[in-house]
Chain A
C-alpha cells in the first residue's frame, strides 16, 4: 500500500498527534512510514503541518500533486496546501475557523465563507465536517483530531481502519481519555 497524507492545522489543535496515530497504526501493520513535521515556532498559534507517507518512498516530504488525502483541522489551513493534492485526491476538513490574532487587531480580515467556496470549487472530493456541532455533541473540544481521523477513515482515502487507529490510540493517548476519543473516532 502506498499513501501520502498531509495534515494541516493551527498550533494546539492536535495535528501532530493525529499524524503520530496514523504513523503508529501503519507501523503496527508493518507498512514502512516516513513523515516530516513542521513544528518549532509554529506551535504557538502558527500554521502546523505534517507530511505522512506510507509505503516505499524516498522522501518524507510529499511532492506537488502527490497527496491522496489532506486532513484540514481548519479550512484556511486545508486550502493553504492544495497544491500538494492529487487531481483525484480527497480533502477532509473541519469547517470551524480559527481566527488569527492579526485578523482581529487591524490586520487582513479572514473571510471563512470564501475559503469554503474556494475549496468547493477546487476539490473534486471534499468532505466538510461540521466540527463545531459534532464536538458540542461529544462535549469535549480536545478530540478534534480523532473526530477528523474518523471521517478520513470513512472516506476510504486513509487506507487504514478504525481498528488500526485504535491500536495506536492505546499507545499514544492516556487511558482516561481513550473512551471519549473512541467515541469521536467511530462516530
Chain B
C-alpha cells in the first residue's frame, strides 16, 4: 500500500519521531510506522493535528527527524503552528504529510494542499505512484534538513490506497540519525514581529532560488514528444495520479509532457524549456488549477505567446477525481484527435448503496433512544465527524447539522442562542470529544448555554479503522497508557449532570434522556457501549415467525442492515446480527429473542 511505502521510506530515512491524527486516506502511514519502526522511534496518535504538529516541531528544533501525518482537513486544525513554523524553520528534517482526497471520497472538502503550501510558503512534494512516494519521502527529509524548513508531502487517495510491487531497503541499509539536542537561542526559536520581518524576506528569496534548484530535481522532468507527435505544438503539464492516467491512455506514442512533482516552488526554468516551441498547453490536474496558474504566471512574466488551458478554461472538470477515461478524453480532444465519447453507465436502475451504521452499532440505539424520548418536541440534533454522521440516514434521521471536527457542540449553542425554545442536542464521539469537543463544552458552560451534550462513547476511533485515543488506555504501539475519563473531564469543567448509560438498554436510555434534557444549562449523557466491529458477540437475535405480526416496526424504525422481510415476516440475517437486542426491546409482539441481555 502507498501509505505503507511512505512509512517504510520514512523509517529508512532515520525518522526519530512520528505524530499524527487519524484521517482517511492518511491513517495507515502512522499505523505502519507503529508496527515496523525500531523501538527507539517515538510514535504517537496525538489528540489532534495541532498537537501532533507542535510535538513534532519541538523534536525537530532539537535536531530530530520528524514526520507528521494527517488528512487535508486536519491541516486546517494544524495551520496555526504550521504558518508560524514556516517563519521559524527547523533543525532536524521535518516532513508534514497531508493526504488529499479528490472526489471527495471521504472528506468534507476538496481543498488542495498544494495551494496551502503556496499560502504557507513551504515547498511541497507531490508523488505520482507508490514507487515514487517511497523514494520521494527520503528526498523530502534531505531537502528539509538542507533548507532548514518544514516541507509538505501530499499524496492523494490513489497513491495512499494504491498497491504496487516495489523494492524497499533492508533494515541494515536504514539510516540512523543521532539527535543533537536543543540549543538555546531565543533569537532563533522565539517568534517576534522583528524576526518574522527578517525571516519573511529570507523565505521569499529562498523560494525564488528554489524555482531554479527544483528545475534540476529529477522528480520534475520533460518527456519529449514521440514520433507520432513530433510536429505537434501541443504539450501537456500534469502531476500525481493524473500522470499515470495519461501514460496509461497514450502508451508508447505521446505528446510532449511536463511532469511536476514540486508544484511549489514551481520549477520555472524547466517549464520554460517545456514551453519552447509549443503553441498550446493543457494542464491536467486534480483539485485546484495550481500548475495551470503557475504556467500562466511563467508565460506572462516571460512574455511567451502561448495558450494555456485546463480547469480555468473548462477543458478539465473543476471538481472531483480524474479517471483514465476523463484524462484520455480531455487530452485527445485538446490534441484535435477523434475521441470516443466516455463509456456509458449501465442503462439499468441499480440500487444506491449509501454507507450505513453496522448491524448492532450502539450509535443506532443511542440515536433511537433520543428520538423516542424527544418525540413531539422542537429539537436540533447537531452531529459531528465520525461513524455517527451516518445517523443522518433514514429512518433514523438524527443528524441535522455536520460541519467539521468538534463543531456540533458549538453549533448547538448558536442555534439555541437564536431560538431559545428549541431543545438543542450535540452528538459527539469519544475520539472527536478529545480532539476538539472539550473547548466547546467549556464555552457552553462559561457562557451559560442550555444544551445537552451526548457523548457516543464506543471506546475507539471507529471510522478510520479503530485507532486508540486518550480514553482507551492504549498507545499507538499498543502499550498501556494513562486513561482519561470523559465523565471526570465533564465534571471537572463544572457540569452538574453527567449521566452514563448503556444505549442497548432501551427503556433506561429513554428515561435518562427525558430526565437529563429537562434540566437547565449544560448537561451531558454518555452512551457507553463498545464498537461492534471490535467486540463481537456470539449471541444472535431471531424472529419467531409464529409470533411476528408483520408490522415492520423493527425495519421501519431502526434501519438495521440485518433486518429484512422474508416470506411476509421480519427476518434477521444471521451473518450480520450481533445480538444487540434493540429490535427485541421495541417489538410490540415480543416476537424477537436470543440476543444479549443489556440491563445494567
Q: B-contacting residues of A (Cβ < 8 Å)?
A: 10-12, 23, 27, 32-47, 57-66, 76, 79-80, 82-84, 99-108, 110, 114-115, 118, 122, 141-142
Q: How far is the CA of A130 from the CA of B248 in the complex (A)?
A: 36
Contacts of B344 in A (CB 8 A): 83
Contacts of B241 in A (CB 8 A): 59-61
Take A27-B165, A58-B244, A104-B564 as given contacts and tell me if A110 and B351 are in contact as well, using a CB distance cutoff of 8 Å: yes
Is residue B358 contacting chain A, with contact meaning CB distance below 8 A? yes
Q: A-contacting residues of B (Cβ < 8 Å)?
A: 24-25, 105-106, 130, 157-158, 161-165, 241, 244-245, 247-249, 251, 323-325, 328, 342-346, 348-358, 387, 390, 393-395, 555-556, 559-561, 563-565, 575-576
Decide if A108 touches B163 in the complex (CB within 8 Å): no
* Chain A residue at smallest Cβ distance from B560: A101
* Chain A residue at smallest Cβ distance from B242: A59
Q: How far is the CA of A10 from the CA of B164 in the complex (A)?
A: 24
Q: How far is the CA of A83 from the CA of B346 in the complex (A)?
A: 7
Decide if A101 touches B559 in the complex (CB within 8 Å): yes
Contacts of A107 in B (CB 8 A): 352, 394
Contacts of B559 in A (CB 8 A): 101, 105
Q: How far is the CA of A141 from the CA of B345 in the complex (A)?
A: 31
Taking a contact as CB atoms closer than 8 A, the residue among A60, A103, A110, A114 that contacts B164 in the complex is A60
Question: B343 to nearest A CB, angstroms?
Answer: 4
Q: How far is the CA of A59 from the CA of B390 in the complex (A)?
A: 33
Contacts of B325 in A (CB 8 A): 63-64
20 new A-B contacts at CB < 8 Å, known A59-B324, A114-B348:
A10-B353, A33-B163, A36-B162, A41-B105, A41-B106, A45-B561, A46-B354, A58-B251, A59-B244, A59-B245, A60-B163, A61-B324, A63-B324, A76-B351, A83-B346, A99-B564, A101-B356, A102-B394, A104-B565, A110-B351
Nearest first, the 7 A-B pairs at minimum CB distance are A40-B106, A64-B343, A58-B247, A59-B248, A46-B355, A83-B343, A63-B324
Question: B132 to nearest A CB, angstroms?
Answer: 12
Q: How far is the CA of A106 from the CA of B565 in the complex (A)?
A: 13
Decide if B353 touches A100 in the complex (CB within 8 Å): yes
Q: Name the prevailing secondary structure of the B interface residues.
A: loop
Decide if A105 touches B556 in the complex (CB within 8 Å): yes
Q: How far is the CA of A27 from the CA of B328 in the complex (A)?
A: 29
Contacts of A27 in B (CB 8 A): 165
> Number of residue pairs across A and B with beta carbons under 8 Å?
149
Contacts of A60 in B (CB 8 A): 158, 162-164, 241, 244
Decide if B561 touches A76 in the complex (CB within 8 Å): no
A-B contact list, 30 entries, CB within 8 Å: A33-B163, A33-B164, A34-B162, A39-B161, A42-B105, A44-B387, A44-B390, A45-B561, A47-B353, A58-B244, A59-B241, A59-B244, A59-B247, A59-B324, A60-B164, A61-B323, A61-B324, A63-B248, A63-B325, A64-B343, A66-B324, A79-B350, A80-B346, A100-B351, A101-B356, A102-B354, A102-B394, A105-B394, A108-B349, A115-B348
Question: A1 to nearest B CB, angstroms?
Answer: 14
Taking a contact as CB atoms closer than 8 A, the residue among A40, A79, A104, A122 that contacts B25 in the complex is A40
Question: A159 to nearest B CB, angstroms?
Answer: 16
* Chain B residue at smallest Cβ distance from A117: B348
Contacts of A108 in B (CB 8 A): 349, 351-352
Q: How far is the CA of A101 from the CA of B173 in the complex (A)?
A: 52
Q: How far is the CA of A65 from the CA of B492 in the complex (A)?
A: 61
Decide if A104 touches B165 in the complex (CB within 8 Å): no
Contacts of A64 in B (CB 8 A): 324-325, 342-343
Contacts of A42 in B (CB 8 A): 105, 355
Question: B34 to nearest A CB, angstroms?
Answer: 19
Contacts of B105 in A (CB 8 A): 38, 40-42
Q: How far is the CA of A23 from the CA of B166 in the complex (A)?
A: 13
Decide if B358 touches A44 in the complex (CB within 8 Å): yes
* Chain A residue at smallest Cβ distance from B349: A108
Contacts of B575 in A (CB 8 A): 141-142
Decide if B355 touches A11 in the complex (CB within 8 Å): yes
Contacts of B349 in A (CB 8 A): 108
Contacts of A105 in B (CB 8 A): 394-395, 555-556, 559
